[in-house]
Structure 1
Amino acid sequence: MILVTSATGNVGDYLVRRLHGSGFAVRALTRDPARARVPSGVEVVEGDLDSPASLGEVFDGVTGFFALGTTGDLSGVLRTASAAGVKRVVLVSTFLARTHPDSAIGRGSLEAERLVRESDLEETVLRPWEYASNVVAWAEQVRTEGVVRPLRAGLPSPAVHPADIAALAAHALTEPGHAGEVYPLTGPEELTPRDKVRALGEALGRELGYAERQDRRELERLSEQAPDEATAGLMIPGVCSLESPGVTDTVERITGSPARGFGQWAAENVHLFR
């Protein structure tokens, strides 16, 4: 049995479906089981990662589990899993743990990585760059105006398809050879926000407008909320203002399939923008 926490999230949803489709027994953990939309045969359980002491039965019979670095009480969750006999954990961290380790996000991610590394479970760490799905924040603008109006231009960024994060997680949870590994993940190409808007337009079958707002006061407000430059560079959805780490070959090297491009994500999720 494999436990997927945050099972209704961007990555968890793909992972549940991939594991189930490959014939593995899957238990999906969520705070609200009524909202879970999972394939028939997947066990859905309610649980709160901020209260690991309540998760003992959730881990019964589980051999490995998937967790996000933003998991509530990760230390307690790891102890509960270990006590239940779980052998393996796959943690989604972030590429900023390598590129911006002194940022708030980088430090928090490195701390989560330390916790899984010092647990007695076999650990695999995934470090994805910007998510392609971040542009869902543009959906209302696209539906109502046909125009995307970001606050700044942003830099070219190899956004990663959440399904590729799930694919790496599935391999690490179900086959040997991944213990102790740290995998950096990106998409196959570097795109600016304007490039992403163009790809969304192609998926929709109509041209979309693109117009930067340059709202200085809003930018200043966001900057004041950010504890550091790296955090500020990620606060505008769909716009990455951090220098690209470059394109990695991790997805293809581990899964045997090329990384999915942003255009594929747009085509698969075009309904969100109509």
Structure 2
Amino acid sequence: MILVTGATGHVGRALVDELTATSTPLRALTRTPPRAGFPPRVETAEGDLSRTDALRAAMEGVESLFLVLPDGQLPAEVLPTVRRAGVRRVVLVSSLLAQTHPSSVIGAAMLTAETAVRESGLDWTLLRPWEFASNTLAWASQIRGGDTVRLPAAGLASPVIHPADIAAVAARALTEDGHEARVYPLTGPEALTVEQKVTAIGTALGRELHVEVHADPQPADHVARQDQGAVTEDPMIPGVATQESPGVLPTVEEVTGNPARGFHLWATENSDAFGPRTCPSANDA
């Protein structure tokens, strides 16, 4: 049995879809099972990682755990329950900032989480994704309301990763041998600027979009959302990489046998979040 935490997040839902195609028994942990909309073969357990009683019940019969930590929670608060339940394998979603910028707020926090998992006595695999493609959902309200995305900075080119590719790597680590004590740095197939990401979203919508960079008089947001895969050091600007990336890495293809999915595909798949299409996209032709 595999337990997926963060099951309604961008990676967790993609992982549930990935594992549903296999014969592996699967359970999803969610606060609201009736609204989760999982396939019938997926067991659901109500609760979250902060509720020890619910977590203990959700762990019954579980051998492998996909672990996404909520903001501010440490694995040390979860792992004793995991060990007592008889779980033998854990796959943790960390951040590539743990490698590239270990002194940053997010990098340091992820290193602490990784250390707890490494020292847990469980078989472990660490996933270190770079910027999630889904971070750009932070621009959705601006794009629904107009043709300009206004940002306080343009940031740096970034090889954003499709959440489904993180899920694909996680599925291998959860269901195959040979991934124990492995650290997987994950990126998308190409580094894109903010302008290129906005253009890709516009193409998916059949609209011409623009970027406007302006000084932000308000303090930048220093809180990163792990569910959104935030990888920027503080100050954090949603959808904008403020730290230099490690470049394009081949890990996704090495682990899964399939090339990493591009941002243009993600934008097409999620175009409804940004508004209605004004004409068919190239993928609809």
Give TM-score scaled by structure 1 length.
0.93
Distance 1:65 1:19 in 2: 13
Does 2:11 match 1:2?
no
Q: Given that residues 51 and 73 in structure 1 are in contact (C-alpha distance below 8 angstroms), is that contact kept between their aligned partners in structure 2?
A: no
1:1-274 aligned within 5 A = 1-70=1-70, 72-212=73-213, 214-218=214-218, 221-222=219-220, 225=222, 231-233=233-235, 235-274=236-275
Q: Pick the structure with more helix per residue.
A: 1
Distance 1:158 1:263 in 2: 12
> What RMSD, in angstroms, separates the aligned Cα atoms of the two structures?
1.7
Q: Bigger CA drift: 54-63 or 133-142?
A: 54-63
Q: Given that residues 49 and 73 in structure 1 are in contact (C-alpha distance below 8 angstroms), is that contact kept between their aligned partners in structure 2?
A: no
Distance 1:86 1:57 in 2: 13
Alignment partner of 2:28: what SS? Answer: strand
* CA displacement, residues 96-143 of structure 1 (integer Å, 9 cap, x when unaligned): 101111112111101110111111210000000011000001111111
Post-superposition offset of 1:32: 2.1
| Percent of residue pairs identical | 53
- Deviation beyond 4 Å, 4+ runs, structure 1: none
| AA partner of residue 145 (structure 1) | G
Q: Given that residues 123 and 181 in structure 2 are in contact (C-alpha distance below 8 angstroms), is that contact kept between their aligned partners in structure 1?
A: yes
Residue ranges of structure 1 left out of the alignment (5+ in a row): none
| AA partner of residue 50 (structure 2) | D
Structure 1 residues 257 and 36, CA, compared in 2 at 3 Å: closer, same or farther? same
Alignment partner of 2:217: what SS? Answer: helix
Distance 2:155 2:250 in 1: 24
Structure 1 residues 42 and 226, CA, compared in 2 at 3 Å: closer, same or farther? closer
Q: Bigger CA drift: 47-56 or 186-195?
A: 47-56
